[in-house]
Amino acid sequence: MKKLQNKVAVITGANSGIGLATAKLYLKEGAKVVLAGRRQEALDEVASSLEGEYITVKADVSIAKDNKRLIEEATNAFGKIDILFLNAGIAPLSPTHEITEEHYTTVFDTNVKGPILATKEALPHINDGGTIVFTNSIVSQKGFDGLGVYSATKGALRAYQRVLTSEVKSRKIRVNSIAPGPIETPIYDKMNLAQDVIEEMGKGFAAQVPLARFGTAEEVAKSALFLASDDASYINGVELEVDGGLSQI
């Protein structure tokens, strides 16, 4: 029996990295999947590699009306939602003395406003007993230079999730999150850093991980499957670190 047979899942940031690996796994497990991303060409490109029942929706999570439209298009296509995976995020570097208002606004709008507004729009359309999964990060537990605003967004998201867990309890909707450690995805190429700087940073991260390596998007996707499935039926309100142990030492 497939773990998500006939479930409807909406995934943001689904054209790349963790979101794409999760979309593929959800489809394999029988879900109908709405893949959302901010670039249509990227969605079209990955769509050719997908098998199963899915649609793609172009939606920028930092824009309120895009979140509303995403949920409308999802429900028009597949009816009520069972799994909402709020995964889209950006992690641009900026040491505190260089932070600009634009940096702050862009990162907060994408990483905090987006998932909160998407949740608001989706809630009336999520089945009772459904589940919401967020992608946080271990950066809210440990300090990495230059990631101040990014870390603050993930900490804010974690605080929000505690409230949401309580607010949806009467509907038996479970709210959980994943906190990845360093995971090999295109996010590092989007930080506007030179390749050698990225490689050095990567080596530095990997050296701190007890398992001494980066994780893969597929390893995170397995956790996103676990939390969304009945296997996690009594797990609610948690942040699950998928980080090779980095946050624990």
Active-site residues, by number, are: 150
- Counting residues that bind ligand NAP (by CB under 6 A) gives 30
78 or 144, CB closer to ligand NAP? Answer: 144
Nearest CA-CA partner of 147 in 87, 205, 93, 202: 93
- Cα 168 to Cα 174: distance, rounded to the nearest angstrom: 8
105 or 166, CB closer to ligand NAP? Answer: 105
Kindly write out the interface string for residues 101-140 of this chain, putting x where it contacts ligand NAP by CB under 6 A and - elsewhere. ---------x------------------------x-x---
Query: Token pair of 115, please?
Result: 């998932």
For the CB of residue 113, give the shortest distance to ligand NAP in the complex, in Å.
10
Q: What is the CA radius of gyration of the chain?
A: 17
- The interface region with ligand NAP, picked from 68-76, 169-177, 185-193, 230-238 by CB under 6 A, is 185-193
Q: Is residue 51 packed enough to be buried (19+ CB in 10 Å), middle (13-18) or exposed (0-12)? A: exposed
Decide the pairing of beta strands 8-12 and 32-37. parallel
142: Cα separation from own chain's centroid:
19
19 binds ligand NAP (CB under 6 A): yes
42 binds ligand NAP (CB under 6 A): yes
Contacts of 75 (CB under 8 A, 6+ apart): 81, 125
90 binds ligand NAP (CB under 6 A): yes
38 binds ligand NAP (CB under 6 A): yes
Nearest CA-CA partner of 228 in 33, 13, 75: 33
Near ligand NAP by CB under 6 A: residue from 122, 187, 221, 246:
187
End-to-end Cα spacing for the chain: 38
- The interface region with ligand NAP, picked from 14-22, 92-100, 141-149, 169-177 by CB under 6 A, is 14-22
58 binds ligand NAP (CB under 6 A): no
For the CB of residue 170, give the shortest distance to ligand NAP in the complex, in Å.
28
β-sheet bridge partners, residue 12:
36
Query: Token pair of 45, please?
Result: 């490109």
Contacts of 192 (CB under 8 A, 6+ apart): 92, 93
Near ligand NAP by CB under 6 A: residue from 15, 22, 56, 140:
15
Instruction: Report the interface residues with ligand NAP, using CB under 6 A.
Output: 12-13, 15-19, 37-39, 42, 60-62, 87-91, 110, 135, 137, 180, 182-183, 185-187, 190, 217
